[in-house]
Amino acid sequence: MNFNLDALIRPNIKSLKPYSSARHEFTGEASVYLDANENSLGSPLPKWYNRYPDPLQAQLKEKLSHIKQVPPQQMFLGNGSDECIDLLFRSFCRPGVDNIIICPPTYGMYSVSANINDTAIRTAPLLDDYQLNLAHIEQLADANTKIIWLCSPNNPTGNDLHRADIEVVLNNFNGLVVVDEAYINFSRQATFAKQLADYPNLVVLQTLSKAWGLAGLRLGIMMASPEIIAIINTVKAPYNIAQPTQDLAIKALDNMADVNQMIHLIVDMRNALAEVFEQMPIVEKVYPSAANFFLVKMYGAKQVYDYLISRGIVVRDRSNVQFCDNALRITVGTEQENTQLVDAMADYMDLLAAQNN
């Protein structure tokens, strides 16, 4: 590998003089803050919400750093992973010039963000077992390929990508390799965040939206080399993480034991649900999952979807997605919700049987 970060950055970003906010220019302790045009009298909310939040979220990163075993200067926090994804495009991909590689079926935001940033999308579809097609990826990469997007466990298929395959990509590609680990807490795979020192081109994405149960907070975590993080920090909006998000996340992170318990419960329920679905005559295949959802290939997926809607149950219809035909993606619910789903499926199959008689 011949990794040269300097050559990857968009020239306008390399020469960017970032906005310098009030909270950035003065970081010491003072008792009178008259530097940021805030309302010094207060706000309708209690506490310090009249003040701008810490632009670099030091306290929150400190806490995350202990949990993730990654130094704060190798972390960027985004308004959801979706902000992290967009910032990677804006920092590295020259509109109309550069390209990225995605491996569908995968998370939709990579291509949406690519299109917003006018970056060409090259696709190396996953193989039949939803693993990487390494030869195809190698064939697609050229001098203008800035980022290869990998998602493990993958959404919507649910499986882990083989670790050795990800390592091959990391070892042979001179651009950035993003490993999106939104569902890593449900997987038996170790995070790639532990290997940041081995791979200067590695970017790991995680989020509080899934296992931590905090999709409403909007907090995504990007982990990479200090150099990559420094670039992203020049491009980000000055106060991208709201104070309530910082406060609540700091509080939530004290409850790791509870979260781990939820994760175990969700994994058990996922395995049980998958087994039940496997027995259904209309199910062709339940794909193995390392996440909090599973993908099911069934006969007449669209009809099943519509029937479930009529019962007030919404699953994700992936039946029209390329390489996912006739598949529904089902998130694990509560015990009671899962029972409702299984009951509805049983009623649907009764209905089908009655029609066929």
Ligand X SMILES: *Cc1c(COP(=O)(O)O)cnc(C)c1O
- 3-state helix, strand, coil split of the chain in percent (to 5) is 40, 15, 45
Smallest gap from Cβ 297 to ligand X, in A, equals 19
CA distance readout (Å), 53 to 24, 49, 154, 220, 248:
11, 8, 34, 17, 13
The maximal CA–CA distance of the chain, rounded, in angstroms, is 81
Decide whether 102 or 283 has the Cβ nearer to ligand X.
102
The residues with which 179 forms a beta bridge, in sequence order, are 150, 204
Smallest gap from Cβ 208 to ligand X, in A, equals 7
Decide whether 51 or 316 has the Cβ nearer to ligand X.
316
The binding site for ligand X (CB under 6 A) comprises 80-82, 107, 151, 155, 180, 182, 207, 209-210, 215, 220
Decide whether 160 or 180 has the Cβ nearer to ligand X.
180
The residues with which 205 forms a beta bridge, in sequence order, are 180, 222
Decide whether 56 or 211 has the Cβ nearer to ligand X.
211
Give the separation between CA 134 and CA 128, rounded to whole angstroms: 13
Smallest gap from Cβ 129 to ligand X, in A, equals 19
Question: How many alpha carbons fall within 13 Å on the CB side of residue 176?
Answer: 30
Smallest gap from Cβ 166 to ligand X, in A, equals 15
Q: Which residue is nearest to ligand X (CB)?
A: 80
Give the separation between CA 70 and CA 50, rounded to whole angstroms: 31
Decide whether 216 or 281 has the Cβ nearer to ligand X.
216
Smallest gap from Cβ 107 to ligand X, in A, equals 4
